[in-house]
Amino acid sequence: MVLSMGITGMEADHGLSAKILQVLTIEFMNTETRGLFWSNLYRTSGSSNVMGIMDGRAVAIQVRSQRGRKNLVQSQLTFSENFRQAGGQYYVISSMEDLQELAAIHSWHREKESLDGLQILGHSPHATSRNRKMP
């Protein structure tokens, strides 16, 4: 897997900074899965640095570098518990391999889409302006 930053998943995985891994996580989740993810810029104390929605559920991903602190601090543990009690899914990753495994375990990968079956506002994508029905 090659992401737009030019880093190949498994080859460059070791030693990535948490910030780069966070960017790659968001890109992977938005391009390779059915989810919608973003950087959590306005975090409350202990909240994860990547937030998103997958299959109608809130997902929080805490990104840890392999070189940095391995354990969560108390505020992160509290956030993860509160997030799960509220119905969200909370995960901690420290590599792209962790993220890919997580996506595979939960079957989050995006299916190949075909435009033939796409319907927009009840219209076929191949309809011309003369034969389109107005809603």
Distance of CA 24 to the CA centre of its chain: 9
* Overall size of the chain counted in residues: 135
31 within domain boundaries: yes
127 within domain boundaries: no
- Domain count for the chain, please give it: 1
pLDDT, residue 14, reads 55
* 13 token code pair: 């995985």
pLDDT, residue 34, reads 92
Beta carbons of 61 and 25 less than 8 angstroms apart? yes
1 within domain boundaries: no
What CATH number corresponds to the domain at position 32? 3.40.1350.10
Q: State mean pLDDT over 49-64.
A: 94
pLDDT tens figures, 57-90: 999 999 988 776 778 999 999 999 999 999 999 9
Domain range enclosing 46: 18-117
pLDDT tens figures, 82-122: 999 999 999 999 999 999 999 999 999 887 655 555 544 44
123 within domain boundaries: no
In the numeric block, the tokens 């506002």 are attached to: 121
The yes-or-no verdict on residue 1 having pLDDT over 70 is no
In the numeric block, the tokens 């937030």 are attached to: 51
pLDDT, residue 12, reads 47
What does the mean pLDDT of the chain come to?
Answer: 78
125 within domain boundaries: no
